[in-house]
A and B are shown apart, each in its own frame.
Chain A
Amino acid sequence: MVSFAQSPCVPADREHDMAEIVLPVIREALDACGLTRDDIDFFASGSHDFYEGRTFSYIESLDAVGAWPPISESHVEMDAAWAFAEAWAWLQLGEGQTAMVYGIGRSSLAADLDQILPAQLDPYLLAPLRPHRDALAGLQARALIDAGLLTERQLAEIVSRYKDVAVDKLMDAPHVAAPLRAHDIAPPGDAAAVIVLAAGDTARRLTAHPAWVRGLDHRMETHYPGVRDLTCSPSTRRAGERAAELAGFATADVQVAELHTEYSYQEPLLVAELGLKNAEVNPSGGPLAGWPATATGLIRIGEAARRIMDGTTGRALAHATNGPALQHNLVCLLAAQPRDPGQPRDPGQPRDAAQPPEAAQPREPEQPREPEQPRDAGQPREPGQPCDAAQPRDAAQPRDTAQPPEAAQARDAAPARDAAPARDAGEAR
C-alpha cells in the first residue's frame, strides 16, 4: 500500500453525487504517491445498491476514475475491503503493477434503514419478521453477556474510551435494542475512501514507507443466524489464523488493530478471537465514530496502513465485516517490512521480492480440518478465550440443569438423537 485517503464521514451529504464524493479523495490519494489515474492498471471498488436505492449505482462513480478510454475495473456489492482483497490478489497474480481500490458508503440515503437492512436476511423465515436493524446485534450482545463474557458496564467502558463520556452517564442512557444503547451503535454517515496498491519495486519507488500486505483472508458463516453460536466468531478466528500463516507473524504480534466494530460489544469478541494482546484498538476512533456503510471496512485497512506508512507502527491488523452479527469477516495483516525473501514464497509475499522463480514452493496442502468442537454450553468461557478452542465434549454427557424442561422431554421422546443433540453436532440450537 502506497497511499490512503478518505473524506470526512458526515451524517448526510446532500450536496454531492457519488462521483463528486469520491473524486477529491481519488485526487488526494494519487497526489500523495505521485501517480495519475493513467498510471493505474486496475480499479476495484465496493458499494451496495440497497444503500443507494437503484441498480448498478456504482457505475456513476466510474466517472471519477475516468472510465474512458475503457479501463480494467471490478466492483464488489459489499464492503470495499473485499475490493481490496480482489485488487491485492490481482497484483499477486502479476496482472499489473498498480491498483486503486475505492469504497463509497452512504448510510444516509435510505429514509429508514429498518426498511433496507431486513433485505439482507433470508427472505423465507427472517425478512418477513422485519427485525429492527439492531435486533440481531442485540441478540448477539445479550448472548455474550449471558455467557459471562461481557457486561453492560463493559460496553459503556468501551464507548467511554471513544467518546470521552463518563461510564455512569452512558449507563443512564435508555436502551435501543437491549442490551444495546444508542451509543453502542455506529452512527450512519456518508464517506469515501481510496487506497493505492503497488507491487514490490513499484511500491518502493513510489514511497519510502509502503505498508506491505503480508496476509489476507476472509471467511463466512452460514446465512441463517439461528444456526450460529453468536457468542463466538469462528470466521474471524480462522481468517486471522490463515492471514497469520501467510504473513509469517501472529495476529497477537500487532501493535495496532483497526476493527470493523459496528457495535461496541463486537470489540472484545474480535479481540478475543484474534488473540490480540497489547494492540492499540481502533486508534482512528473506529466505526463508533462514523459508519459510512460499505466504505467502513476499507477505512479500517487504510487506517491500519497509515500507522505503518507514518512510521509509528511496525505491524498492524485490519478487520472488516459484512452481514448481520459478524457473519462474514476479513483479516488483513500489514507490516513495515516485506516478508523475508529467504523464506519460501507464499502468496503473502510481494511478487517481485528478490528470489529466483524456482524458490517458489507450492504451499503445503492444508491439513485436514479438525471437526468444529462446539463449546460446552455448561461451562462459561473465560473472557478472551476463543469459543472454538478444542474443548472435547463427551457427546453423551448429560446437559446441565439450565436446559429448558421441554427440550429435555423432547430428548426423552427421541432417545436416538439423545446421544448427539443437534447443538452438539454444530447444527442447530
Chain B
Amino acid sequence: MTLPEPVETTSSPLYMNYTYVAGTGRSVFLRGLNERRLLARHCPGCSLVYAPAPEFCSRCLRPVGPPFELPGTGEVSTFCVVNFPFPGQVYEPPYVVAHIMLDGAHNRLMHLVREVAPEEVTIGLRVEPVWVDDDELDTSTTSIRYFRPIGRPTRDVAAVPYAQTPIGPADA
C-alpha cells in the first residue's frame, strides 16, 4: 500500500519590518561610535564600568554615571576562528571573532580581529580599533572596521582566567 504523496512545499513568504528602539543607555554608546569614541559608564552602586553601558546597572539596578571616553585599546579575552562560508558573510574565512576587554571596562565587546594570521591570535593579545573613514561613520558597531594587534601578549594568560565573571561573583 502506498500513501498519497504529501504536499511538500507551499510558498507563503512573510515580510516583517520593525522599528528597533535602542534605548537611552545604548544610544549613548552608539552616538560615541559615530564620533570614533568608545564611551563607558560607571555604576555608583557596584563600581562596575560598562562599555557598552545600559542606562542602569543590571546587577544593582542603580542608574549609571555620565559617559567618559576609554582609550580604545584592549585585549583579547577569548576568540574563535570562523572557518566555514555562509550566506551574507562579509569576510572570507578563515577569520577571527573575539571578545575584547577594553582597557578600563569590566565587560567585553565582541568584534573582529584582523591584520594578523588566525593561528597567531592568542588570549591576551593587545588590540586597538581600526575605524572606518569619516563618510562611513555611523551610530553602529560597524564604525569600527575591526581590531588589530598592537604587540604581543603582555600578561600571562593563566593570570587572567576568563571564568572570572566580569559582573562579579554570584555570592557577592
Stretch of B20-28, B78-86, B131-139, B142-150 lying at the A interface: B20-28
- A23 sits at the interface (CB 8 A): yes
Which of B14, B17, B23 contacts A119 (CB under 8 A)? Answer: B14
8 A Cβ contacts from A63-81 to B = 63-64, 66-70
> In the complex, which residues of chain B have a beta carbon less than 8 angstroms from the beta carbon of A13?
21
Return 7 A-B CB contacts under 8 Å, by A number. Answer: A14-B19, A19-B54, A23-B61, A63-B56, A70-B170, A115-B17, A127-B14
C-alpha gap A68/B166 in the complex (Å): 11
> In the complex, which residues of chain B have a beta carbon less than 8 angstroms from the beta carbon of A50?
16
- B109 sits at the interface (CB 8 A): no
> In the complex, which residues of chain A have a beta carbon less than 8 angstroms from the beta carbon of B19?
12, 14, 108-109, 111
When the two chains form their complex, are residues A68 and B171 in contact, meaning their CB atoms are under 8 A apart?
Answer: no
When the two chains form their complex, are residues B17 and A111 in contact, meaning their CB atoms are under 8 A apart?
Answer: yes
Instruction: Give a binary string over B5-22; 1 marks a CB under 8 Å from any A CB, 0 the rest.
Output: 000001110111111111
- A128 sits at the interface (CB 8 A): yes
- B70 sits at the interface (CB 8 A): no
Known contacts A16-B24, A53-B16; is-contact A66 B10 (Cβ 8 Å)? no
New contact pairs (5) apart from A37-B61, A115-B16, CB-CB < 8 Å: A66-B61, A68-B59, A68-B167, A70-B170, A127-B14
> In the complex, which residues of chain B have a beta carbon less than 8 angstroms from the beta carbon of A37?
61
- B103 sits at the interface (CB 8 A): no
When the two chains form their complex, are residues B56 and A23 in contact, meaning their CB atoms are under 8 A apart?
Answer: yes
What is B's interface to A at a CB cutoff of 8 Å?
10-12, 14-26, 54-56, 58-61, 167-168, 170-172
Instruction: Give B171 Cβ to nearest chain A Cβ, in Å.
Output: 7
Instruction: Give B66 Cβ to nearest chain A Cβ, in Å.
Output: 17
> In the complex, which residues of chain B have a beta carbon less than 8 angstroms from the beta carbon of A115?
14-17
When the two chains form their complex, are residues B60 and A66 in contact, meaning their CB atoms are under 8 A apart?
Answer: yes
B165, closest chain A residue (CB):
A68
> In the complex, which residues of chain A have a beta carbon less than 8 angstroms from the beta carbon of B61?
23, 37, 64, 66
Which of A67, A109, A123 contacts B20 (CB under 8 A)? Answer: A109
Which of A15, A63, A109, A112 contacts B58 (CB under 8 A)? Answer: A63
C-alpha gap A18/B54 in the complex (Å): 11
- A370 sits at the interface (CB 8 A): no
When the two chains form their complex, are residues A66 and B54 in contact, meaning their CB atoms are under 8 A apart?
Answer: no
Instruction: Give A426 Cβ to nearest chain B Cβ, in Å.
Output: 28
- A20 sits at the interface (CB 8 A): yes
C-alpha gap A18/B146 in the complex (Å): 29
> In the complex, which residues of chain B have a beta carbon less than 8 angstroms from the beta carbon of A52?
18
Which of B21, B26, B54 contacts A14 (CB under 8 A)? Answer: B21
When the two chains form their complex, are residues B21 and A109 in contact, meaning their CB atoms are under 8 A apart?
Answer: yes
Instruction: Give a binary string over A98-116; 1 marks a CB under 8 Å from any B CB, 0 the rest.
Output: 0000000000111110011
When the two chains form their complex, are residues A16 and B23 in contact, meaning their CB atoms are under 8 A apart?
Answer: yes
Instruction: Give B138 Cβ to nearest chain A Cβ, in Å.
Output: 18
Known contacts A16-B24, A20-B25, A68-B170; is-contact A111 B58 (Cβ 8 Å)? no
- A400 sits at the interface (CB 8 A): no
8 A Cβ contacts from A11-44 to B = 12-20, 23, 37
> In the complex, which residues of chain A have a beta carbon less than 8 angstroms from the beta carbon of B20?
53, 109
Instruction: Give A288 Cβ to nearest chain B Cβ, in Å.
Output: 24
When the two chains form their complex, are residues A123 and B12 in contact, meaning their CB atoms are under 8 A apart?
Answer: yes
What is A's interface to B at a CB cutoff of 8 Å?
12-20, 23, 37, 50, 52-53, 62-64, 66-70, 108-112, 115-116, 118-119, 123-124, 127-128
Instruction: Give B111 Cβ to nearest chain A Cβ, in Å.
Output: 20
When the two chains form their complex, are residues A53 and B23 in contact, meaning their CB atoms are under 8 A apart?
Answer: no
> In the complex, which residues of chain B have a beta carbon less than 8 angstroms from the beta carbon of A108?
19
C-alpha gap A110/B23 in the complex (Å): 17
C-alpha gap A128/B22 in the complex (Å): 32
Which of B11, B23, B58 contacts A66 (CB under 8 A)? Answer: B58
Instruction: Give B127 Cβ to nearest chain A Cβ, in Å.
Output: 27
When the two chains form their complex, are residues B17 and A15 in contact, meaning their CB atoms are under 8 A apart?
Answer: no
Instruction: Give A362 Cβ to nearest chain B Cβ, in Å.
Output: 40
Which of B17, B26, B167 contacts A17 (CB under 8 A)? Answer: B26
C-alpha gap A12/B18 in the complex (Å): 12
A110, closest chain B residue (CB):
B18
Which of A17, A67, A123, A128 contacts B21 (CB under 8 A)? Answer: A17
C-alpha gap A115/B59 in the complex (Å): 37
A53, closest chain B residue (CB):
B18
C-alpha gap A16/B19 in the complex (Å): 12
Which of B12, B54, B56, B59 contacts A127 (CB under 8 A)? Answer: B12
C-alpha gap A124/B168 in the complex (Å): 49
> In the complex, which residues of chain A have a beta carbon less than 8 angstroms from the beta carbon of B16?
50, 53, 110, 115-116, 119
Known contacts A20-B24, A110-B16, A111-B19; is-contact A69 B170 (Cβ 8 Å)? yes
C-alpha gap A50/B16 in the complex (Å): 9
C-alpha gap A70/B22 in the complex (Å): 25
Known contacts A109-B18, A112-B17; is-contact A20 B10 (Cβ 8 Å)? no
A23, closest chain B residue (CB):
B56
Which 9 A-B residue pairings sit nearest by Cβ, starting from the closest?
Answer: A17-B23, A53-B18, A111-B17, A63-B58, A69-B170, A128-B12, A115-B16, A68-B59, A20-B23
Known contacts A68-B167, A116-B16; is-contact A17 B58 (Cβ 8 Å)? no
> In the complex, which residues of chain A have a beta carbon less than 8 angstroms from the beta carbon of B167?
68
Instruction: Give A354 Cβ to nearest chain B Cβ, in Å.
Output: 37
Chain A CB within 10 Å — which of B17, B56, B58, B168 has the most? B58
When the two chains form their complex, are residues B22 and A124 in contact, meaning their CB atoms are under 8 A apart?
Answer: no
When the two chains form their complex, are residues A110 and B12 in contact, meaning their CB atoms are under 8 A apart?
Answer: no
